[in-house]
Amino acid sequence: MIFRSFIVAGLLACGFVHSALAEVNPPEPVYPIPSERQLAWHALEYYGFFHFTINTFTDKEWGYGDENPEEFNPTACDPRQWVEIAKEVGMKAVIPTCKHHDGFCLWPSKYTEHSVKNSPYKDGKGDIVGEVARACHDLGLKFGIYLSPWDRNHPEYGRPEYIDYFRNQLRELLTQYGEVSEVWFDGANGGDGYYGGAREERRIDRATYYDWENTWAIVRELAPNAVLFSDVGPDIRWVGNEKGFAGDPCWHTYTPHPNEPGGQAAPGASNYKEGVNGHVDGEYWLPAEVDVSIRPGWFYHESQNDQVRSPENLMELYYQSVGRGACLLLNVPPDDRGLIHETDIAALRGFKTLRDATFKMDLAHDATAKASNVRGDVDTYAASNVLDDDRSTYWATDDGVTSGSITVDFGKETTFDHVVLQEYIELGQRILRFSVDAYSGGQWRTIAEGESIGWKRILRTDPVTAEKVRFNVLEAKACPTLSSLSIYAGPDVK
Ligand code: FUL
């Protein structure tokens, strides 16, 4: 192989082979790199959470576990409506809370009586999880599951028997409802609860109790394409806050650390605040998911109907999550009728209108692009690859060239206020520092700077009118890649 490259290089130098025809190896990956399932997850960008359980009817956030299933009584429940709305507003997946901390199951699990089967809903014949899953599969959305590890209803919680129960439920959910794309394990676990009538405090060792390695293995076996979420991954990490923002920078790479010296990092026992930025030299590919609610609470409360986030606020969350390379998991809790509330629908639609208005037309699409260096001087890695609609083509430089630039020429003065960048992350997150310049009136000036790019970086600028834009890689771990550069004029730019 080395010998062949040597000959090709020699022929190139002598001008015997036209550069565009020569075969040049792609850059070596910079590890860690994403798995196939992680790559599919990155592409989702925006998806929905549905918090729904007896809490919806008792006006609580955390049920104690002693609730009567009779209280679960939605009068007009329509899980298909939830999924239809999600699809309409651009979400690519949804995750219902199949069982929250109170232990009530939205599906008729054969391992407990504490479920929909003993509720008035469809006279005990209902299965909310099944209805959501079916709607997802019909409408082409991915379907994920939230299964709370903590169970304040179960008599054996805190003892080994509960782990069998928990795993049996996981198996039910992974085998009865078709393809599952994400499994969400909450870090909140252990504490006081009903526990079959004991009404006591039960502390667990969060690092060992759930034997996570073997619990995760069930997901790998039954849903090999599903990503596993928790404070520590293993596929995607909690961003470390529930306020709706990733850090700047936000690295896809991360090393989960324990929350106390000498401890073991585990869901609910990690130094989760590090998740907001990640680690530039993190050991694992563990990108951030930003989970946040459209309302102050995770569950529906009538008293919060006037506190639903506005479209503008949701747009801010989008910039602070998707715009920093994370995915946005937006909770929209169905109300006590079992429907997404009108106010929430209006906010979601307004948010979609704002996104569409902003990212309607890529002003760089018909521009030309030139790079300071092109790998092997071949078209395969040319700068023009960043302007096409194909994310699998990318610009790359020669080995050892860890800085460089791409100049995009509009051919005329163009006004914009957004620049969107994407690395070719299949080869790792390589760029460490970059800037963007604009050329007008015969001069270049810097309009944006940053560190992390990864799957996606959305840069907002003041309105700029320029003939050319230059993207500069200032520092990279190895020769950089860029698969996409697009430029937009948001609604504020006339
Ligand atoms: C937290 C839970 O305690 C909240 O109730 C909610 O489910 C949120 C998404 O995760 O840890």
What are 227-264's pLDDT values in tens digits?
A: 999 999 999 999 999 999 999 999 999 999 999 999 99
186 lines ligand 1 (CB under 6 A): yes
Closest approach atom of ligand 1 to CA 331:
9
Q: What is the DSSP letter of 353?
A: H
| Distance between Cα 268 and ligand 1 center (Å) | 11
Share of the chain above pLDDT 70, in %: 95
| Distance between Cα 323 and ligand 1 center (Å) | 24
What are 75-122's pLDDT values in tens digits?
A: 999 999 999 999 999 999 999 999 999 999 999 999 999 999 999 999
pLDDT at 492 (0 to 100): 86
State whether 341 and 373 are in the same domain. no
Q: Is the pLDDT of residue 62 over 80?
A: yes
Strands 227-230 and 236-238, by their bridges, are: parallel
pLDDT at 18 (0 to 100): 46
Other C-beta atoms lying within 10 Å of the C-beta of residue 412: 7
The answer to whether the beta carbons of residues 253 and 286 sit under 8 Å apart is yes
Where residue 233 sits, what CATH number does that domain have?
3.20.20.80
Is 16 a domain residue?
Answer: no
231 lines ligand 1 (CB under 6 A): no
**Distance of alpha carbon 204 from alpha carbon 211, whole angstroms:** 12
| Distance between Cα 466 and ligand 1 center (Å) | 46
Is 245 a domain residue?
Answer: yes
Q: Is the pLDDT of residue 3 over 80?
A: no
Q: What is the DSSP letter of 130?
A: H
State whether 203 and 335 are in the same domain. yes
**Is this structure's pTM higher than 0.75?**
yes
Q: Is the pLDDT of residue 2 over 70?
A: no
What token pair was written down for 207? 């690092």
Nearest CA to ligand 1 atom 4: 298
Residue at a domain's end among 327, 358, 389: 358
Closest approach atom of ligand 1 to CA 184:
9
361 lines ligand 1 (CB under 6 A): no
Q: Is the pLDDT of residue 5 over 50?
A: no
| Distance between Cα 186 and ligand 1 center (Å) | 7
335 lines ligand 1 (CB under 6 A): no
State whether 92 and 213 are in the same domain. yes
Nearest CA to ligand 1 atom 3: 188
**Distance of alpha carbon 431 from alpha carbon 395, whole angstroms:** 13
The domain of 394 spans 362-488
Q: What is the mean pLDDT of the chain?
A: 95
Confidence class for position 10, pLDDT limits 50, 70, 90: very low
* Peptide bond between residue 249 and the one before it cis (omega within 30 degrees of 0): yes
pLDDT at 305 (0 to 100): 98
Mean pLDDT, range 210-215, rounded to an integer = 98
235 lines ligand 1 (CB under 6 A): no
Q: Give the count of domains, the chain.
A: 2
Q: Where are the strands (E) in 258-403, listed by range?
A: 284-285, 288-293, 327-331, 368-371, 395-396
What are 302-324's pLDDT values in tens digits?
A: 999 999 999 999 999 999 999 99
Ligand 1 pocket check: which of 104, 183, 186 to mutate, most ligand atoms within 8 Å of Cβ? 186
Is 207 a domain residue?
Answer: yes
Q: Where are the strands (E) in 15-158, listed by range?
A: 46-50, 93-99, 142-147
Q: Is the pLDDT of residue 17 over 50?
A: no
Residue at a domain's end among 358, 385, 413: 358
**Distance of alpha carbon 42 from alpha carbon 92, whole angstroms:** 11
Which residue has 């760029």 as its token pair?
431
- Least confidently predicted of 5-9, 178-182, 218-222, 365-369: 5-9
What are 373-421's pLDDT values in tens digits?
A: 999 999 999 999 999 999 999 999 999 999 999 999 999 999 999 999 9
Closest approach atom of ligand 1 to CA 186:
11
Closest approach atom of ligand 1 to CA 299:
5
